[in-house]
Amino acid sequence: MIDFDKMIDNHIAREHKPKSIGRYYPSEVGNCIRKVWYSYKHPVELKPEVVKIFQLGNIMHEFVVEVLKSEKNKGVQLLQSEVPLKIETPEFTISGRVDDLVLVKESGKTVVVEVKSTKSIDFVREASESHVMQLQLYMHATGIHNGIVLYVDKGNLQSKQFEVKYSKRKVEETMERFKELHQLLLNDLLPVDEAKRTQGKQWMCRFCEYEEKCSRNEA
């Protein structure tokens, strides 16, 4: 018999590559800073079930690209997808990919669209802080100051979108966060257990692969 579950695991398996201190990623900036620190100092391979969640997100983004490119939707024009970006500072580099750049024909505005899949759209009330931080960096890097975080339900393809205006102050705060992470990594200093201490972020601990290390304050 064919073990299709195993075949899927083999197909989506990722090569494990340690991260380099000094190269950081917009998608991680809103995570618990201790978790990000651990991912550099004590990297672990992602479990198959976690990789599957990421793969579902990729599949969802591919679907959104199809929708944006469709001739049936004449009010928008997909300009670019998966646009690489890089922000260089004297101390470190931030690199990533912008999901989509869309031209809204009615208004003539170009919009940066960040696509996120969600288990249930019913629980999405606003764009999450981490997703807004990510989008702010993309708007800063591209010079396009109109943004949308688009959430798509993995179960029924229902969606919600939240407009995000560019904020220089928020970009500066996000860059300071990267700077803090960089210094903590260089000096082997364990960050505070941010998720445990921050209202509304404790849920992150339930899904964190470093929960046991964190509980022991292990550096």
Q: Up-side HSE of residue 84: CA atoms within 13 Å toward CB?
A: 2
pLDDT in the model for residue 207: 84
By three-state DSSP, how is residue 154 classified?
coil
- Over residues 143-192, the pLDDT tens digits come to 999 999 999 999 999 999 999 999 999 999 999 999 999 999 999 999 99
Residue 165's identity, in one-letter code, is K
Residue 197 has pLDDT above 80, yes or no: yes
Residue 218's identity, in one-letter code, is E
pLDDT in the model for residue 112: 95
36-45 mean pLDDT: 93
**DSSP bridge partners of 150:** 115, 161
Residue 14 has pLDDT above 80, yes or no: no
Q: Residue 188 corresponds to which tokens in the numbers above?
A: 């082997």
pLDDT in the model for residue 24: 97
What is the residue-averaged pLDDT of the chain?
Answer: 92
Confidence of residue 128 (pLDDT cuts 50, 70, 90): very high
124-150 mean pLDDT: 95
Closest CA to 143 of 113, 120, 111, 118: 111
Dist. CA 127–CA 171, nearest whole Å:
16
Q: What's the chain's Rg over C-alpha atoms?
A: 19
Dist. CA 160–CA 150, nearest whole Å:
6
Q: What is the residue whose two structure tokens read 């690209």?
A: 65
